[in-house]
Amino acid sequence: MGKQTYKIVKSKVTEGLKDMESRKGRFRAFDAIRPAMLKMVPNYPELSNRLRQIKEYSMDHLDEVIAKAQRSLEEKGCKVYLADTAEDAQNYIASLIPKEGLVVKSKSNAGKEINISHYLEDRGVTVVETDLGDRINQLAKCEASHSLAPAIHLSIEKITQLFSEEEGIQLECTPEALVVSARKGLRDFLVKADVGISGANAIAADTGSIFVTENEGNIRAVSMMPKVHIVIAGVEKIVSTLEDAMQVVRAAAVYGVGQDIGTYVSVISGVSESLDPDLDEDTHGQGPKEVHIVLLKNGRQEAIEAGFQESLYCINCGSCLNFCPVYAEVGSKYGYKYLGGRGLVFAAFHGDLEKTEENGLSLCIGCQKCQTACPVQMATPNMLWKLRQDAVAQKGVGWKKNLIFSMLSKPQTLPVVNKLATTFGKLALKESDKGMTSRLTLNSFGLPQERVIPRFSGKSFTEIAKPKPLAKPVKKVGFYPGCVVNYTETDLGEALLHVLAENNVEVKLANEDVCCGIPSIVSGDLDHAKTMALKNIAAYSSLEMDALVFVCPSCAVAFKEEYPKLFAEDSPELQKKVRNLALKVKDINEFLSQDIRLKPPEHRVAETVTYHDPCHLARSMGVKKEPREIIQKIPGVNYVEMQDADMCCGFGGSFSLSFYELSQRINEGKLKDVADTQATTLATSCPGCMVHFRDGIAQHAMKQKVSHVVQILSRAYGRR
């Protein structure tokens, strides 16, 4: 990402963070949708896997399902137009509408994709949005801020003002009064409209049926009242069967808003054939005489060929946005056409990587909440990492990251830097209660003066570590400390050695290691990542061990998941070595709970403890219950579960350096949840999370101690 692009992104982030009114609206929606969705999803345990299979099949057989859908639709009297580009779709739709005609339009993400409302308005057509949120945005002359709740960024006072001006009288500032006003205002438009435009949630190829689901009833009116109905849908909306389409509709409700089914589900299978003989044929409300289906290709084939087929599984339910920590704080400033990470992929497969970067490619923190909230399990972070690789291939990684990654890949460099930082760091840093703060303002390096960073240790963990010799160990493990433990959190490394010695586990350390490579991987710099990985693979593959344990889940994920990907096309010998090493990877909580019989701790730790789930540990490695079980085995501990324990803390490694204000805002939400538990100790299982929480606690003058689970367990074994 170039300097100018970074300025554009930083400006958008700043603007988003300042818009507190929009943030209030988003969190009002989240407070309603999140618990409803989390309660509803378990009622349909097979829905997500089934839906993914449906979408995979459709995309794997795209030409076939398009042809089948076209035949079925045309047999039902519909007219089908395959649009290769947005311009093709715009021109075709415009040709169906009378000059200075009236169009009523329901919510349509595909319509927004091709900018159809503005296109028609520029040609003298009156377009009236009938979705309540879209209508509000139309009156306010602003863009949607959520796929399902497009006007959540506007206050009820602002909406009252808009409708009062539209109606010419002062309305009561209540939701009920505004709904009545909106319905009254839309009624005349619906009766007089020449054309209705809608989207589609799904199109069944076998029956030629178009499914639309909603909670307001406006889509039903749009599809029934005017004499011409135009449906705009991406080709990815086509599924094989009527039953498959119903699964899409079900998932949109379950994951999108936490309902078992939408309030209204309309199935349109052709033109109206049963006009009431007692009514004039021109009377509105008897169903359309013409139904036109505009199927958008618009870059989708290019997406498939470029390896982004998975992005087309999306059903636009908005669930990813409801759980994305970045979207929660900056709203519509993150994404392009489609909000959030999926919108960035959309921009890229339309050949505009620059647009992708400018709209937030660097903002994805990689927490994977979007993926676990997604009904098709779409791995959006992985697609964004791939786009970052494309950006680095075109423009390089930038001089600062290039310098840092070069240092991280050399075993001799970091110890020297650590000693220099310890010796001369006081010229730029000063002591604080919780760590160190900067004497200078270094915002470009993510170090404003108020930021609290950990103290450098002087000597690295690998220099001071002395694993206890054991005569007859029950297990032998290697330990990869990682950069944070090696140079700032050495006590965590010492605690691990103590805990494992107490459990008669022999620990082996490599003679030298380097960074795990995760910072390079998520930045798109695979060259440096491979250099680091090869050195670590050589160092740890030579150890005789039953497992390779980690106290940092990001490092563990690098060894377990990312190294096999990095060398997937290398020699069979190297691939085998990488796979064998990956199979030995264990988070320390996982190892203590599953691989040995944990020695019962005897010393009391009189603390009220709550626990934060690190993103990589909870979602990539699936380790959630083990750390809680360990904590609750410690005498004297009063364990209190916090709300949303697995929501991201906002650290994200280099993310917190590039976008410190945003990372702190995300952290504030977590700190509120911590405070609500009245815990005296915040436990977690990630050194990076620990660093970030200590900074946040210092900024907000809170009193909680922050410890790794292993450190608390070590205290319970008598270490002080």
Assign 128 to helix, strand or coil: strand
- Cα separation, 530 vs 454, in Å, equals 28
**Same fold: 44-270+288-298 with 608-716:** yes
In the chain, the amino acid numbered 668 is E
What would the pLDDT profile of 602-616 be if each residue is shown by its tens digit?
Answer: 999 999 999 999 999
Domain residue limits, the chain: 3-13+318-395, 44-270+288-298, 608-716
Q: What is the mean pLDDT of residues 374-400?
A: 93
- Cα separation, 224 vs 675, in Å, equals 53
The CATH label, of 3.40.50, 3.10.20, 2.60.40, 2.40.230, for the domain at 608-716 is: 3.40.50
pLDDT at 468 over 80: yes
Q: What is the mean pLDDT of residues 139-152?
A: 84
Q: What is the tally of helices (H) and strands (E) in the chain?
A: 36, 22
In the chain, the amino acid numbered 684 is T
- Cα separation, 579 vs 576, in Å, equals 5
What would the pLDDT profile of 587-643 be if each residue is shown by its tens digit?
Answer: 999 999 999 999 999 999 999 999 999 999 999 999 999 999 999 999 999 999 999
Nearest to 199 by CA among 93, 120, 105, 84: 105
Q: What is the mean pLDDT of residues 159-181?
A: 90
DSSP 442: B
Residue 652 and residue 663 in contact, taking contact as beta carbons nearer than 8 Å: yes
Residue 668 and residue 662 in contact, taking contact as beta carbons nearer than 8 Å: no
Q: Contacts from 111-117 at CB under 8 Å and sequence distance 24+?
A: 111/197, 111/199, 111/232, 112/144, 112/337, 113/86, 113/234, 113/296, 113/298, 113/337, 113/338, 113/346, 114/86, 114/89, 114/90, 114/232, 114/296, 114/298, 115/86, 115/90, 116/89, 116/90, 116/197, 116/232
Nearest to 451 by CA among 163, 660, 707, 680: 660
Please measure the distance between the N-terminal and C-terminal CA atoms of the chain and give it in whole angstroms.
46
Query: What angle (nearest 5°) sits at the alpha carbon of residue 486, between those of residues 485 and 489?
Result: 35
- Cα separation, 302 vs 309, in Å, equals 9
Q: Which residues contact 94 (CB under 8 A, 6 or more apart)?
A: 119, 120, 123, 125
Mean of all residue pLDDT scores within the chain? 92
- Cα separation, 707 vs 611, in Å, equals 10
pLDDT at 451: 82
In the chain, the amino acid numbered 480 is Y
pLDDT at 715: 97
- Cα separation, 515 vs 414, in Å, equals 9
Q: How many CA atoms lie within 13 A of 315 on its CB side?
A: 35
What would the pLDDT profile of 262-307 be if each residue is shown by its tens digit?
Answer: 999 999 999 987 656 565 555 555 789 999 999 999 999 999 998 9
Strands 79-83 and 290-296: parallel
**Whole-number Cα distances in Å, 540 to 77, 410, 575:** 67, 16, 15
pLDDT at 428: 66
pLDDT at 93: 98
Residue 45 and residue 330 in contact, taking contact as beta carbons nearer than 8 Å: no
pLDDT at 14: 95
What would the pLDDT profile of 411-461 be if each residue is shown by its tens digit?
Answer: 777 777 666 666 656 666 777 777 767 766 666 666 777 788 887 777 889
Nearest to 614 by CA among 478, 706, 524, 522: 706
> CATH assignment of 44-270+288-298?
3.40.50.10420
Residue 184 and residue 203 in contact, taking contact as beta carbons nearer than 8 Å: no
- Cα separation, 320 vs 275, in Å, equals 43
